[in-house]
Chains A and B, each alone.
Chain A
C-alpha cells in the first residue's frame, strides 16, 4: 500500500471526489479517504521476472506523457462557425431561402473574422503573438490570400462567392496555421480547442468577442438582410422550441473536436435567449461589422407593420376589419415609411425597429381607440353588442369584447400552463458532458451515466406516449379557423357596433383616449416611464400580458413600445402638454 506509487492516477474518486489514491495488494487503486476500490489497476505487464517497483517506474514515465484527450486541433472560431452553419441549415429546413446560408450568413461571418483580425487579414491575432513566421509558408493559408480584397467591395445583397469551398466541412480547411498547443499540457487550465484559454482571457475592448448568443444575432441579421418572413421573436421562439440549435449546439460537433476546460465557459449555455439582449447584440454586431444600409422594407415586405399587424390580428383572434384602423394608425404615425423601417447600421445612430413589438403596439393602440380599455367602456360596448347579436342571429355578428376576452383568456391560460410545464421539463444537459479539467473527467462522465440510467428508470413509469410531442414549427401559435363552440373565431365579426359614419368615412364611437405615459425621460437613458402594472386598467393589463406572452418579451417592453406609438400618434398633444406643462391623462379626439 504505497501512496507514492499511485501518484500518477489523477482522477477523482467517484465516491467522495477526493484525489488521493493508494494501491491495493492486487495492484488496484483505492481511495485513501473513503477506501473505495476502483476497477482500474496499475498496468503491470509481466510480474514474473522484473521486480514490481521497476515496472511501476516505467509505467509512470509513460503515463505522464499521455494527454487527457486527443482530438483534432481546432480553434474557438471554428466552433462558432460550426454552430452558425448548423443554425443556417436549421433555418433552411424552416423554409428560409437557400441564399441565406451561403451568400449572406457566410459573408457576414467572413467579415466578422476579418474585422476581429482572426483571418483574412495580414496579421491574424493568433500568429501575431507567437509564431508570425509560420504564417508565411503555411500552405493552407495561401488559398485565402485573395479573400480580403474580395470582401472589401462588400455591398448589397449580392455577396461575393468565396470560391468552391462551402461551409459544412469546417474541420478540413485550416485557415489558421496549426500551432501545437503545448501550454495546455503544462498548465492546469486547459481546453480542447487550441486557443480556448487564450480566447477566454482576451479582453480587447474594440473587438466584439463571439459568444453563443451572438450567433443568434448573426442569424437575425441575415434574416433581416434577406427580408425573410421571420421576426426576432419568432426566431427566439424557434430556439426555445428546439427547432434551431442553440443550447448544447456543441454536441453536434464532429466527434474529433474535443471540448473541455475553458471551452465549457465559451460554448455551454444555461439560459434561453432573451429578446432585449439579442436585440442589443444585433445592433452591436451590425455596427462592429460596419454593414451598409440593409435592403428597404417596403409595403410588400413581411416586416412592414401593415402585414405584421394582419398576422397578429389573426393570431389573437381579432376581427379582420380592425386592419383598416391599424393601417390608419401606421399611416398617421409614419412608422410605415421605408426610411423609418430600414436598418442602417452606419447611420449616425444605429437602431433597428423591433418590428414584431411595434406591430403589436399598433394593435393595442387601435384597441384603445375602439374600446378605451378603461375597465368600463369596453364592457358597456360589449353589452350593446351582445344584445344586438341576440336579436340578429342571421347577420354578421358584432364584435363582443367580453366574449373575445373569455375565449382568449381560456386559450392563453392553457397555452401558458403548457409552456410552463414544457419549460420545467426541459432537459438542459447534453449527452456529451463538459468538464473543467481532466481529473474531473471520470466523475463527470459517471454522473452523466447515472443521470441517464435514472432517467430511463423514471421514464419507464410514465405514459408510454410522450405527452409533449414536438410541435412542428409554425409562425402561428394559435389556430382559430376551426369553428368550435367554445373557441369562437372572431375574424369575421364586424366592428359596426363601435364605429359610426362621419361624412365620407367611419370613425370610432368612443371619442376618448388615455395615454400610457405623459413624460419621456429626456436624459441620455432614452427610457420611457416604467410600466407599473397596478397603475393600469385590468383590460389593458390583459392585452399587454397576452401579447407579451406571444412574443415572449417582458410586458414592460411592450408597454414602452405602445407609449412610443402613442407619442407619434398624438404628437400635437405631447407638444401642447410640453408648452402648457399640463398633466392630463385623458385626451379627447374627434
Chain B
C-alpha cells in the first residue's frame, strides 16, 4: 500500500463552505497580534515561569485549605515561601501578609502543629516587612487567648504596644489602640476574677484591703487602655461593656453614662443595636424615668424591630398614658411577629391577642386596620396556614390557642359575610374574655380544617356560647 497518495479523488462531501479560510476578510487571524495582546495584558512583561509556579502553588494551597488537607497545604507552603524572594517588588511586598494568613491557618489546624510552632512562625513573620508587625501581633495574641494562654497573650500585646515605627500611618494608629484595648480586656478579666474573689472574702479580713487595692490598680490601668479605643468610631462592644462595668463598680455613674451615650448617639459611630441595648440596661439599672427608657428603645425599634427587648418596649408603651404610645405598642407587636424567627414566640402572640382586644375595646379600630392593611396579603399564609395550624397544635397547644385567638380577631371579618366590618370588629370588642382551653378544645375538634375555617367556627362558637 505504498501508493495511497496517488488516487486522491475529489470528495463528495458537503463541507465546501466549511473551509477555514485564512485570507478572507472576516476570518482574519493574526497569531502575532494575539501574542502582543497577551503581553500587553500582563503589563508589557511576559510572565516568567517563576510567577506561574507561585500562582499555581497558591491555587493548590487554597484548594487544600478548602478541603482541610493540612498536610498537603503545608507541602505546597514550603514552595510558596519563595515568593518572598520574587524579583517583582510589588508582589514581594504583598507576600508577607498572604503567607501569614495561609500559614497561620495551616498551623492552627494542622494536627502536628503546636503552640511553639505557631509562636516561632508568628515571630518570624512579624519581622518581615514593617507593615504587618502590629496586625500579626494582635492575631498572635488572639491565637494564644484561644489556647487559654492569657499570660503569653498579655506579654505579646505589651510587646506590640511598645513597638515603634517611625512614620506611623493612620491605620497603624488604630491598630495600636486596638492592641491596647485587648490588653485592657485581659486586665479586665483578671479584675473581674479578683472581684469574685473579693466577694467571697470577709470585709474584716486582713486580705481584703490588699485585694481591693490590687483590684483598683488593675482597673486604673484597664480604663487607660480601653478609653483611647472607644473614642474612635467603630464597634467595640466587649470593650465598652467591660469598661462600663468597672466604672459602675467604682461608682462613676456619670462617666459610664457618658461613655454609653456617646457610644450610642455619636453619629460618627456605625449604627449598632448593642450600643442602645447597653444604654437601656444601664438606664434601667439606674431606674431612669420611663420617658428616657422609651426614647432609647424607640431607636432600637427602628434598627431591629425583632429584638427581644421589643416585648419589654411594648409593656412600657402599654402602660403609658399617651395615645401615640399606645398606638406604637400595637405597631411594635406586629413588627415583632413580622419576622420568621419570632413566629413561635408565645409571649408575643399572647400580648397581641390581649392587646388587640384591649385596643378594639378602646375603640381604636383604625389603629388595627392601619397595621393590618399592609399585612393582610401575607400574614394569613405566613402565620395562619394549615401547615402551621397542624404543627403548632402538635408542638405547643398554648401557642396554637393564642394564634387562633388572634386569627379569629383579624380574619374573622372576612368569614362572616353580611356583617359590616365595623360591626364585626365591634362585636369582638364586646366579647368577654374567653378561657383559652375552651378555644383550644374547639380548635382541636376542627383541627383538620383551614385556619380561616377555624376562625369562622370560633366566631360561630362565640356567637353560640355568648350571644
A interface vs B, CB < 8 Å?
14-16, 31-35, 270-272, 328, 331-332, 369, 420-421, 423-429, 433, 447-448, 450-451, 453-455, 457-463, 467, 502, 505-508, 512, 517-519, 521, 527, 529-530, 532, 535, 569-573, 576, 582-590
Which of B8, B82, B124, B165 makes the CB contact (< 8 A) with A587? B8
Q: In the complex, how many angstroms separate the beta carbon of A584 from the nearest chain B beta carbon?
A: 5
Q: How far is the CA of A455 from the CA of B79 in the complex (A)?
A: 8
Report which of B16, B19, B79, B106 forms a contact with A425, defined as CB distance below 8 A. Answer: B79
Would you call B60 an interface residue if the criterion is a C-beta within 8 Å of the partner chain's C-beta atoms? yes
Q: Which of B49-57, B307-315, B348-356, B411-419 contacts A (4 or more CB under 8 A)?
A: B49-57
Whether the pair A585, B19 counts as a contact (CB closer than 8 A) is: yes
In the complex, the answer to whether A590 meets B7 with C-beta atoms within 8 Å is yes
> In whole angstroms, how far apart are the Cα atoms of A310 and B74 in the complex?
43
Task: Please indicate the chain B residues that have their CB under 8 angstroms from the CB of A423 in the complex.
Answer: 49, 52-53, 56
Q: Which of B6, B23, B107 contacts A572 (CB 8 A)?
A: B6
Q: Known contacts A271-B49, A425-B57, A590-B3; is A584 also within 8 Å of B81 by CB? A: no
Q: Is B110 an interface residue (CB 8 A)?
A: yes
Chain B residue numbers with a CB within 8 Å of A584 are: 10-11, 13, 15-16
| Contact, CB under 8 Å: A570 / B8 | yes
Chain B residue at smallest Cβ distance from A515: B8
Q: State in angstroms the CA–CA spacing of A272 and B53 once bound together.
A: 11
**Do B22 and A529 have beta carbons less than 8 Å apart?**
yes
Measured CB to CB, the closest approach of chain A to B143, in angstroms, equals: 16
Q: Could you say which residues of chain B place their CB within 8 Å of the CB of A270?
A: 48-51, 87
A461-B112, A588-B11 known; A424+B56 contact, CB < 8 A = yes
**CA A35 to CA B82, docked complex, whole Å:** 28
Give me 15 other A-B pairs in contact (C-beta within 8 A), A447-B85, A589-B6 excluded: A15-B127, A270-B51, A328-B1, A424-B76, A424-B79, A425-B57, A428-B82, A429-B82, A450-B128, A458-B75, A459-B74, A461-B110, A519-B22, A583-B16, A585-B18
Interface status of B130 (Cβ within 8 A of chain A): yes
Cα separation A182 to B165 with both chains bound (whole Å): 39
CB contact between B79 and one of A15, A426, A590 (< 8 Å): that residue: A426
Q: Given A530-B31, A585-B19, A451–B79 Cβ distance below 8 Å?
A: no
Give the residue name and chain of the A residue nearest to B2 (CB).
A328
Total number of residue pairs linking A and B with CB closer than 8 Å: 181
B11 contact set on A, CB distance < 8 A: 512, 584-588
A460: chain B residues within 8 A (beta carbon): 112, 117
Given contacts A425-B57, A426-B79, A461-B110, contact A35 B164 (CB under 8 A): yes
**Which residue on A lies nearest to B84, using beta carbons?**
A451
Tell yes or no: B41 within 8 A of A by CB.
no
Point out the residues of chain A lying under 8 angstroms from B167, CB to CB: 33
Do A421 and B60 touch across chains, with their CB atoms under 8 A apart?
yes
Q: Which residues of B contact A16 (CB under 8 A)?
A: 130, 165-166
Residues of A within 8 A of B127 (CB): 14-15, 450
Q: Lowest 10 A-B CB distances belong to which pairs? A: A507-B1, A424-B56, A270-B50, A461-B74, A573-B8, A586-B11, A270-B48, A271-B49, A583-B19, A33-B166
Q: Please give me the residue from chain B that is nearest to A273 by CB atom.
A: B49
- Contact mask for chain B residues 390-407; partner A; CB cutoff 8 A; 1 contact, 0 none: 000000000000000000
- Which residues between 86 and 135 of chain B lie within 8 Å of chain A, taking CB atoms? 87, 99, 103, 106-107, 110, 112-113, 117, 120-121, 124, 127-130
Chosen A-B contacts, 12 in total, with CB atoms closer than 8 Å, are A35-B166, A270-B48, A270-B51, A328-B1, A433-B85, A450-B128, A451-B85, A454-B103, A571-B5, A576-B8, A584-B11, A586-B11
A369 to B5, CA, bound (A): 11
Give the shortest distance, in Å, between A445 (CB) and chain B (any CB). 11
Q: What CA separation (Å) do A462 and B77 show in the bound complex?
A: 10
B2 to chain A: which residues have CB within 8 Å?
328, 331-332, 505
- A458: chain B residues at CB < 8 Å are 74-75, 77-78, 81, 103, 106
- Inter-subunit contact A589/B8 (CB<8 Å): yes
Task: Determine the chain A residues whose CB is within 8 A of the CB of B15 once the complex forms.
Answer: 584-586
Tell me the nearest residue of chain A to B89, going by C-beta.
Answer: A17
Known: A35-B164, A585-B19. Contact between A332 and B5, CB under 8 A? yes
Decide: A462 and B78 in contact? CB cutoff 8 A.
yes
Q: How many Å from the CB of A544 to the closest CB on chain B?
A: 16
Instruction: Give, as a whole number of angstroms, the nearest-CB distance from A414 to chain B.
Output: 16
> A218–B190 Cα gap in the complex (Å)?
73
A519 to B75, CA, bound (A): 50
Determine the distance from Cα of A459 to Cα of B166 in the docked complex, in whole angstroms: 36
Selected from A457, A502, A585, A586, the residue in CB contact (under 8 A) with B121 is A457
Known: A270-B50, A433-B85, A455-B81. Contact between A425 and B75, CB under 8 A? yes
Q: How far is the CB of A29 from chain B (nearest CB, A)?
A: 15
Check B20 for interface membership: any CB of A closer than 8 A.
yes
Answer yes or no: B271 CB below 8 A from chain A CBs.
no
Q: Decide if A369 touches B4 in the complex (CB within 8 Å).
A: yes
How far, in angstroms, from A521 to B28 measured CA to CA in the complex?
Answer: 13
B48 proximity list for chain A (CB < 8 A): 270-271
Distance in Å: Cβ of A563 to nearest Cβ of chain B: 12
Q: How far is the CA of A453 from the CA of B3 in the complex (A)?
A: 68
Quote the shortest CB–CB distance from A156 to chain B (angstroms): 36
Chain B residue numbers with a CB within 8 Å of A14 are: 127
> Does B9 make an interface contact (CB < 8 A)?
yes
